[in-house]
Structure 1
Amino acid sequence: MEQKSVRESVVSTWSNDVTPSLSGLIAIPALSPAFDADWASTGHLAAAVQHVRTYLEGRDLPGARIEVVELEGRSPLLYVDVPATPGATGNSTVLMYGHLDKQPPVGGWSEGLDPWTPVIRDGRLYGRGSVDDGYSGYAASAALEAVHAAGGEHARIALLLETGEESGSPDLPAYLEHLSERLGEVGLVVCLDAGGMDYERLWLTTSLRGMVHLTVNVQLLATAQHSGLASGVVASSFRVLRQLLERIENAETGEIKLSELNVEVPASRRAEIEAVAEVAPDALRTAFPLVSGGKTVSEDALELLLNNYWRPTLSIIGGEGLPVPAEAGNVLRQSTTLTLSFRLPPTAIADEALAAIKRVLTTDVPYGAKVTIADGQQAENGWNAPEEAAWLTDALRRVDDEVFGRPHRATGMGGTIPFMGMLGEKYPEAQFLVTGACGADSNIHVPDEWLNLDYAQQVTEAVAHVLDAHARG
C-alpha cells in the first residue's frame, strides 16, 4: 500500500469522525461489572455498545455485519464481521480485540478534568476509557478504511469489543465458544489493549505475566487476650503469618523461593528486554511517584525490566484483623488475615503455582496455628507470543521506516490480560500483534487518564499495514 494514502485516510478519519465519537463514548460511565453490580439495570454498558455500534454502522466497511451478542446473564459483546477483500490470499480470520468497559472514576482529577467529561488539551484526549481502551474499536475500523482507501487487501475480519475486560473477562470464554464456528480458523490476532515506554515508535507486547490471588487467615487464639498477660506465652498470629511468608519470599530482596513460580527467561525475550533497556534506560525507574528519597528495588534498568516481565513477585494487597491505630488496645488479637497477589512469569503454570503456595502456607505451621485459605482463589496463566512469522517481520520493518521512522521494540508487560492466554491456547498457530496507544504516563486506572491522539493515529496506520501484509501472505 502507498503510505501517503494510508496516512491521509487515517488522519482524516480520526480528526473528523473518531475523535468526536470517542468523546461521546467517554461521557458514558460504563463501569465494568465488577464495579457496578447493577450494570444490567443501569444500562451503561449497553449504552456504550450501542454508541460504538451506531458509529460503525455509519462507516464504509463493505459487507460488514454488525451485531450485539448477549448471552443470558453475561455483559454484552459487540461483534463486527467484515468479509475479506477480493485479492486476499488464504482463508484465515483476523481476530481484532478491544473492550468498552471502564475502571471506576477514582477521585483526584486535575482542575478542569473529569472522568466522564472529554477534554482535549495539547493533543491529549482526557477521560476515563480514552486510552484503556475505548479507542480500540475506532482504530480497528479506521485501519480497515485506510486499507480500502489505499487499494490494499485484508483477510476476513472479526472484531470483538467486550464489556468485561476490567473485571478479568469472565464472560469472554463463553462468547468465544459461542462464536467459535463463525470465527473459523484464526491466523492473526490483533489486540489494541497495550502500549509501551514512549510515543516515538511502535511497541509490541510479546509476553504477559500470570497471576495467583488468595486470602489467608492465621488463628492461634480462640478469643483475643490482654497482650501483657498472653504475650511471650502465645505467639502473635501476625508473627506466624510472617514466618509462613518468609518460606515463600525473601523479605530483603523480594525473591520468590518456590520453584513452581520461577522459570528460565527465553533467550529471545531476554534479547528484546536488553534492547528496551538501551532505548529506555530510565523508563521503569522514573515511572512511579516515589516519596522524597524513595528508590526502586534496583538502579539497573535491565534488572527492573526482568523483574517486571519475567520474575515472580508478591504484593500484600489487603488485610483484616488489625484495628486502626486510634482504636488499637493492648490486645493480642486472635487472628490475622492478608490477601496475597502473586505475579507469575509468562510461562509458569498458574495452577501449579497456587498449589505450591497453599502447600507451603498450610504444612508444618508454627505453634500449631490454624491456617484457612478463603474461597475465591484465582490462578491465571500468563502468555508468551509465538515465534514471529517472516511476513510479520517484513511488515513491521516497513512500519518502522514509513510510519515511525525508527525501529519498533518488543517488550513484556507486568500485568495480565486473560484474553491473550485464552486465545494463545485456542489458536496456537496464530500470529499475534499486541500493541496499542498506551504510554507509561497515560494514567490508566487512575485520575487524568489520557490518549495521545497523534500516536493513536500512528498505531492505526501500523495496523493497516499489518492487515495488508497478512492478506498478501
Structure 2
Amino acid sequence: MTTLDAEAVTDHANNTWEGIVPVLHDYIAIPNVSLDFDPEWREHGFMAEAVDLIAGWCRDRPIPGMTLDVMELPGRTPMIVIEIPPAGGGAADDTVLLYGHLDKQPEMEGWRDDLGPWTPVLEGDRLYGRGGADDGYAAFASLTAIEAVHAAGGVHTRCVVLIEASEESGSPDLPAYIDALADTIGTPSLVVCLDSGCIDYDRMWVTTSLRGMVMGKLTVDIVTEGLHSGDASGMIPSTFRIARQLLERIEDSSSGELLLPELQVEVPAGRLAEAQSTAEEIGAIATHYPFVDGAGPTTDDPAEQLLARTWRGTLSVVGADGLPPAARAGNVLRPSTTLKLSFRLPPTADPDVALAAIIAALESDPPYGARVRFHETDAAPGWNAPATAPWLEVGLDAASNASFGQPARSFGEGGSIPFMGMLGEKFPEAQFVITGVLGPDANAHGPNEYLHVPTARKLTMAVAHLLNAHATR
C-alpha cells in the first residue's frame, strides 16, 4: 500500500472547499424537498434546479476523461451519473462506487429566529440550512477527493459517482436506476457512501450498521361525522383512544420496547463489543441532545445508548391528521384519527416480514368494530457491514490519521440508507465505507441543521487517501 503526499492532498482539498462553500449556499436556498413531501416536484422545478446546480459544478471540474450524465427514467426523479477513468496506473476493471443524494427533508418547525431551512448562514465553522450536510456536500467531496489524488500524484481505479434524488423518501426510484446502470456500475470492490454521521468531529467515523425502516399511516374511523362531545362521548369511543389501544399491541408504552418478535433481533456479539469499546472512549452520547430542563435519555449506560439507537427496534409517531390546532379545537368527538408511524428496525430484520406483522397486529380484531387501516406503507432494509478486509482496516486508520490526526473509529448508525441494503445484497464481496459529517448536534431532518465545514474538508482528504489505498492494496 502506497501512501499519498498528505500536504498536497490537504492543500488541494482546502483550496477547493473555499469555492465549494458559496455553491452550497446556493444549493441550500433551493427548497427541493423529496418527492414524498412534494408530489408536484416536477412542476415546481426545484429538484431540476438543484440537479443543474450540482451537475454544473461537477462538469466544470478539470478531471481528465470524466463523463457526466443526468439520467431521468420515465416517471422517476433524476440521477447524476459520473464516470471517471483510472489514474496513476490504477486498474480500469476495478470500480469504486461513490454515493450521495441531493433531495431534502421538509422545513420542520423550530428554527432559530435568524435562521431558516432555505436561508444559508455561515456562522464560524457551521454552514446552516437544510441539506448542506444531508447530503448536498457529497458530490463536491467525492470529486474533490478524486482531484486530490491527482494533485498528490497518487493512484485510483475507475470511479463511478451516483447522486440520487429520492433518498429522503426511502429511495423508491433507486432500484430502477441500479438495474438500468448495471453495466456502468459493474461489480464494485469498494463502495463509499457520504450520507452518514459521526459521533464527534475529531476523526473519521465509519458506519458499520444501519437500521431498516417501515413507514405507514394508521387511520381509525368510528363515525361518519363529528359529534358533540358532551352528547356522544362515553357511548362512542374516541378514535384517539382506539389508536392508543392499537399501538399498545406493538409497543410497550412504559419502556418503548417493541413487542412483535418480527421487529427485534439478537444483537451480534461483534456489534455488542464495538458498542462497548466506542462507549468506553467516547462516553454517553445522549448528553449532546437538547433535552428540556430535568429530562434525560431512556438509559444512562453509554453502551446501551449506542445500542438503543442502532440495534433496537423503535416506533415514533411523526405526524397526525384529524387533529385541529388546539386554539381552534371545539368540544367535538372527532370521527377519525390518522397517525403517521415510523418504525426503525434492527439492521438484520426483514422489513417485509416486519411490515406484514405490523399490519396484522393493527388491523385484526379492531376495538368496537372500528374501521382500522395501516396504509400508504413503505418498507426498506437495514444493513450490517461485512467483515473488514485487512487492507481497508489499515487504510481507514491511515486516512483518518493523515486527515484528522487520529485513527478511525466505527459505530452503528440509527438512520436508514436503502441504497446500502440493496448494494449489500447485490455485491456481497464488496467492501463498504459508510461515513459522513452529521455530528450529534448537526440535527439533520430537524431545525438548525448545519454542515461542519472543517469536517467536510477533512473527510474529503480522508476519502482521497482511501482511494489511493484501495488502488495500491
Both proteins in one fold, TM over 0.5: yes
The 8 Å contact of residues 189 and 430 in structure 1, kept in 2 or not, is answered as yes
Aligned letter for 1:467? L
Aligned equivalents of 2:97, 2:301: Cα separation in 1: 38
Aligned to 1:309: 310
Task: Write the distance in 2 (CA, Å) between the matches of 1:108 and 1:219.
Answer: 32
1:136-173 deviations in Å (ceiling 9; x for gaps)? 11111111111111121111111111222222222121
Give 1:4's aligned residue. Answer: 7
Computed over aligned residues only, the root mean square deviation of the Cα atoms, in angstroms, reads 2.5
> Structure 2: which 5+ residue stretches go unaligned?
none
Tell me which moved more, 256-265 or 396-405: 396-405
Deviations 1:416-454 (A, max 9, x none): 112222222222221111111221122322333322221
- 2:349 match: secondary structure: coil
Deviation at 1:117, TM superposition (A): 4.1
Taking the TM superposition and a 5 Å limit, the aligned residue runs for 1:81-92 are: 81-89=83-91, 91-92=93-94
Contact 2:77 2:173 in 1 (8 A): yes
TM-score, with length taken from structure 1: 0.91
Is 2:188 aligned against 1:195?
no
TM-aligned CA deviation for residue 129 of structure 1: 2.1
Secondary structure at the aligned position of 1:28 is classed as coil
Which amino acid counterpart does residue 212 of structure 2 have in structure 1? G
Question: Counterparts of 1:14 and 1:223 in 2: how far apart (Å)?
Answer: 58
| Residue in structure 2 matched with residue 293 of structure 1 by the alignment | 294
* Counterpart residue type for residue 419 of structure 1: F
Instruction: Return 139-148 or 369-378, whichever deviates more.
Output: 369-378
Q: Which residue of the partner structure matches residue 16 of structure 2?
A: 13
Give the Å deviation of 1:316. 2.1
The percentage of counterpart residues that share the same residue type is 50
Figure out how many residues of one structure are paired with residues of the other and give that number. Answer: 470
Query: In the alignment, which residue of structure 2 is the partner of 1:157?
Result: 159
Q: Which residue of 1 aligns with 2:269?
A: 267
Distance in 2 of aligned mates of 1:450 and 1:228? 48
| 1:39-438 matched pairs, under 5 angstroms | 39-89=41-91, 91-106=93-108, 108-110=110-112, 112-219=114-221, 235-283=237-285, 285-322=286-323, 334-367=335-368, 369-438=369-438
CA distance in 2 between counterparts of 1:133 and 1:418 reads 14
1:110 Cα deviation from its structure 2 partner: 3.5
Is the 8 Å Cα contact of residues 361 and 371 (structure 1) preserved in structure 2? no
Q: Deviations over 1:257-296 (max 9, x none)?
A: 111111011111112211221233232x223322222222
Q: Which amino acid aligns with 1:359?
A: A
Q: Contact 1:154–1:470 at 8 Å: present in 2 too?
A: yes
d(CA) in 1 for partners of 2:237, 2:117: 48
* Residues 147/317 of structure 1: CA separation in 2 closer, same or farther (3 Å cut): same
Distance 1:310 1:143 in 2: 32
Distance 2:126 2:209 in 1: 28
- For the 8 Å contact 1:275–1:409, the answer to whether it is kept is no
Shift of 1:82: 0.2
Instruction: Please give the secondary structure, in 1, of the residue aligned with 2:340.
Output: strand
Q: Is the 8 A contact 2:322 2:338 kept in 1?
A: yes
- Deviation track 1:300-351 (CA, whole Å, cap 9, x = no partner) reads 2222221110011112233345555566666655554433221110100011
Query: What is the CA distance between 1:228 and its match in structure 2?
Result: 6.3
| Alpha-carbon distance in structure 2 between the residues aligned to 1:447 and 1:248 | 29
Change (3 A) 1:178 1:270: same
| Structure 1 contact 248–357 (Cα < 8 Å) conserved | yes
CA contact (8 A) 1:219 1:237 kept: yes
Gap regions ≥5 residues in structure 1: none
Q: Which one is further off, 184-193 or 324-333?
A: 324-333
